[in-house]
Structures are given as structure tokens and as C-alpha cells.
């Protein structure tokens, strides 16, 4: 009986050794597969990152250009309005003098109440 018991232990040990070898092979194959997939994912993310940076830079540049154009248009419009007001004040000053007087009286009244 001990012979049969030793023989079955040997068979079990051999089976365990074969399973361990198979597991090692599968582990190595799985590591390789994960490494390849990770590399592909990393490359895709790197490409996406550069695309996002490029898009952000383009958008930033366009925004700066538009802000510059709006500033120029605003400055031109302010000059036009100031020129028109100056011309109107020189042509007919009394309504502006009256408006300034009324505004001064209202401001004095409001500040005087406190």
C-alpha cells in the first residue's frame, strides 16, 4: 500500500508541476498581451493629448485675435460717439449744461440726505 500511496503522490506532484508550468506560460502570455494593449492605449492617449493641445492653441489664438478686433471696434465706436457728443455740445451747449445742473442737484440732494 505504501507503494501505491507514494505512486499517487508522485502523480499528484507531476500534475501540480505541469499546472504550474502551464500557469507560468499563460502568465507570460498575459503579461505580453497586456503590455502590447497598454502600449497601444498609451500611444492613442498621446495622440489625443497632442490633438487636444493643438486644438486648444488654435482656439486660444483665435480668441486672442477676436478680442483684439473687438477692442479695436470698441475704441473706434467710443471715438465716434465722443466726437458726436463733442460736436453736439459745441453746436447746442444749453441742454447739456441743464442736464449737468440737474444731475448735480440730484447728486447733492442724495448725498445731503445721509
The 3 state secondary structure assigned to the chain is CHHHHHHHHHHHHHHHHHHHHHHHHHHHHHHHHHHHHHHHHHHHHHHHHHHHHHHHHHHHHHHHHHHHHHHHHHHHHHHHHHHHHHHHHHHCCHHHHHHHHHHHHHHHHHHHHC
- Number of structural domains in the chain: 1
Does this model's pTM top 0.85? My answer is no
Residue 5 pLDDT = 73
Domain that holds residue 64: 2-113
Each residue of 32-83: pLDDT tens digit? 888 877 787 777 777 777 788 888 899 999 999 999 999 999 999 999 999 9
Is the pLDDT reported for residue 105 higher than 60?
Answer: yes
| Confidence tier at 27 by pLDDT (50, 70, 90) | confident
pLDDT at residue number 1: 55
Amino acid at each position: 500500500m505504501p507503494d501505491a500511496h507514494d505512486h499517487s503522490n508522485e502523480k499528484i506532484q507531476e500534475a501540480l508541476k505541469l499546472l504550474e508550468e502551464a500557469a507560468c506560460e499563460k502568465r507570460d502570455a498575459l503579461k505580453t498581451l497586456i503590455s502590447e494593449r497598454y502600449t497601444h492605449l498609451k500611444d492613442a492617449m498621446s495622440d489625443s493629448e497632442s490633438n487636444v493641445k493643438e486644438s486648444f492653441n488654435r482656439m486660444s489664438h483665435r480668441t486672442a485675435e477676436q478680442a483684439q478686433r473687438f477692442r479695436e471696434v470698441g475704441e473706434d465706436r467710443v471715438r465716434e460717439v465722443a466726437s458726436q457728443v463733442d460736436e453736439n455740445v459745441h453746436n447746442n451747449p444749453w441742454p447739456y449744461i441743464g442736464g449737468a445742473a440737474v444731475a448735480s442737484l440730484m447728486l447733492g440732494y442724495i448725498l445731503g440726505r445721509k
